[in-house]
Amino acid sequence: MILYGRNSVAERLKADPASIKKIFLQNNFNDPAIEQSAQKNSVPLERLPPEKLMKIKDADNLQGIIAQAADFQYGDLDELLRIDAAKKTTFIFLDSVYDPHNLGSIIRTAACLGGFAIVIPKHKACEVTEAVLHVASGGENYVPVVKAVNLSTAIIKAKEAGYWIAGAVVGPGGENLDRAELAFPLGIVLGSEGEGIRYGVEKHLDMKVRIPMEGAALSFNVTIACAMFCYEIAKRKRSQEGH
């Protein structure tokens, strides 16, 4: 895979330098920290003019740096459920999220707040692509992402491991996020903007939660909704831990 952009390459160098095979820099690129980190980890560097850089990866916001890296490694749900003995990880189950920018933003949000893992379905959804990694800005190094053959089956496995499952809904029928009694360990299901959570997934929810809105009768983008849910969940977990 190709990583591009300063943050994506810098964070990969910190977290998993062995996964980087080579880094290409634009002639005028200047970031001593990245260059020193590459040299320290024996990652080859090569400087190129902009037109040759674009031949390797034709994308906006290359920011003068590209890295050839190993393919993205998805996490294993069974292993995550098994090793998380204290059940501190909150799982974000994404139902029918197709936009790579949305998935990348969700990964970045989950990485910033900490204590989350993401589960995406194998079919009819966006997978982790180079565009996703660019938007994630290195967040993929700190958040396990699981690709499940069937999202409902993944949710059932989490429930069997003791997780409570809440679903984000729009409009009436859900408890307000700021007042809902969220039970931990917790999984949160987020659907697409247009379709919401599919019935086959919705029937496995233990509770429905909504973001209270007193403004226009619109809906939040899934990335914004995810950020609000993740912030509230992280705050509740800190409160339980006495921080």
Asked if the model's pLDDT at residue 242 lies above 80, the reply is no
Domain boundaries for CATH 3.40.1280.10 within the chain: 77-240
Q: Are 175 and 209 in contact (CB under 8 A)?
A: yes
How sure is the predictor about 217, in pLDDT bands with cuts at 50, 70 and 90?
A: low
**What's the chain's average pLDDT?**
92
Here the tokens at position 53 are 């850089």
Per-residue pLDDT band at 87 (split at 50, 70, 90): low
Amino acid of residue 200: G
Looking at domain 2-69, its CATH architecture is 2-Layer Sandwich (3.30)
Q: Distance between CA atoms of 137 and 233, rounded to whole angstroms? A: 22
pLDDT tens digit sequence for 15-74: 999 999 999 999 999 999 999 999 999 999 999 999 999 999 998 889 999 999 999 999
For residue 232, CA distances in Å to 69, 198, 237 come to 34, 24, 9
pTM score of the predicted model:
0.94
Beta strands at 65-69 and 2-4: parallel, antiparallel or unpaired: antiparallel
78-99: average pLDDT: 87
pLDDT in tens, 135-170: 999 999 999 999 999 999 999 999 999 999 999 987
**CA-to-CA distance for 66 and 51, rounded, in angstroms?**
13
CA 173, CA 196: separation in Å to the nearest integer?
Answer: 13
Calculate mean pLDDT across residues 111-121.
Answer: 96
Q: Where are the alpha helices (DSSP H) in the chain?
A: 6-15, 32-40, 50-56, 77-83, 100-113, 130-136, 151-160, 199-202, 222-240
- CATH 3.30.1330.30 range(s) for the chain read 2-69
In CATH terms, is domain 77-240 a member of 3.40.1280.10? yes
- For residue 109, give the nearest of 242, 238, 229 by alpha carbon: 229
